[in-house]
Amino acid sequence: MLGKTRWLELKREPTEDAKKIWIIAPIPRQYKKKVKVIENDEEIEKTETIKYNAYRYVFVYDISQTTGEAIPLQCKEINCNDMAYFYEKLKAFSNVPVFEEELSGSVKGFFSKNDNKIVIKKDLSQNDKAAVLLHEIAHSLYDDFDYSKDRDLSEVFVESVAYIVADHFGLDTSPCSFNYILKWAKGEPKTVIDLGTKIQKCANQYIEKLEKFEMQEQELMLAA
């Protein structure tokens, strides 16, 4: 799923009756802040760059609602391994143990609250594993929905959070995230919009926790 401008670049355009699919898109922002630090037993003032994400609603179109030149359909998996280091970092960051196992069918992973564990499908690519683990960690940290009654809301919320966090750290999950969100939202944009504030808040917290974890890891390496 892509925006109209991107579809036009690919020499396709939305049909007249194309339905807009609303998603929450992260917008990187930063500002300068003066802080006092201790260096060589002296207090000095430094300028620090504070990075954060703002968010806005944008709409995209599914390929089925466009016409034009033929292009390969986006796959539902991320067959890449250039983010293997990020997957390893997520395993260390996870608040519950992470296991890789053989899983049947289309199941890529799951979080078990009763067993206090996350299971990832063993034969996925490293990038796909990272995407799935981001999703399952979001379940373990932020999902407070009654899964037996509100599974649709739970999955829309968790994958939206995972998509924003993945994007922040340079992992493109759009080939699978958009279709996943659309499936559980049943094509209804209001479902995503109604969860907007909750999604933004939890995505920011998730990003902050991961960045703090990275900093702690770096400090430990320097101290070793």
**CA–CA dist 155, 147 (Å, integer):** 9
**pLDDT reading at 101 higher than 50:** yes
Select the more confidently predicted residue: 65 or 107. Answer: 107
Decide: pTM greater than 0.85: no
State the Cα angle at 203 between 161 and 29, rounded to 5°.
120
- Hey, what are 144's tokens? 């407070």
pLDDT of residue 202: 94
**Residues 6 or more apart whose Cβ sits within 8 Å of residue 33:** 47, 48, 49, 50
Q: Angle between the 151-168 and 196-223 helix axes, to the nearest 10 degrees?
A: 40
Give the Å distances, CA to CA, from 220 to 19, 97, 215, 224.
Answer: 50, 21, 9, 6
Helix axes 174-185, 126-142, angle to 10 degrees: 40
Put residue 186 in one of left, alpha, beta given phi > 0 → left and psi -120 to 50 → alpha: left
Residue 128 maps to a domain:
yes
Our count of domains for the chain comes to 1
29-77 per-position pLDDT tens digit = 788 888 887 777 788 888 888 777 777 777 777 666 788 876 544 445 5
Q: Is residue 49 part of a domain?
A: no
d(CA 206, CA 9): 34
- Render pLDDT for 113-165 as a digit per residue (tens, 0 to 9): 999 999 999 999 999 999 999 999 999 999 999 988 999 999 999 999 999 99
Give residue 125's domain range.
69-223
Residue 14 within a domain = no
Is residue 92 a part of any domain in this protein?
yes
Question: For the segment 172-205, what is each residue's pLDDT rounded down to a tens digit?
Answer: 888 788 778 878 887 676 777 788 889 989 999 9
- What is d(CA 56, CA 15) in angstroms, rounded to the nearest whole number? 24
Task: Name which residue leads in pLDDT, 207 or 77.
Answer: 207
Task: Please check whether residue 219 is in contact with residue 212, taking contact to mean a CB–CB distance below 8 angstroms.
Answer: no
Confidence (pLDDT) at 97: 97
Residue 42 is predicted with a pLDDT of: 81
Report yes or no on 1 lying in a domain.
no
- Asked whether the beta carbons of 137 and 117 are under 8 A apart, the reply is no
Q: Is the pLDDT of residue 102 over 90?
A: yes
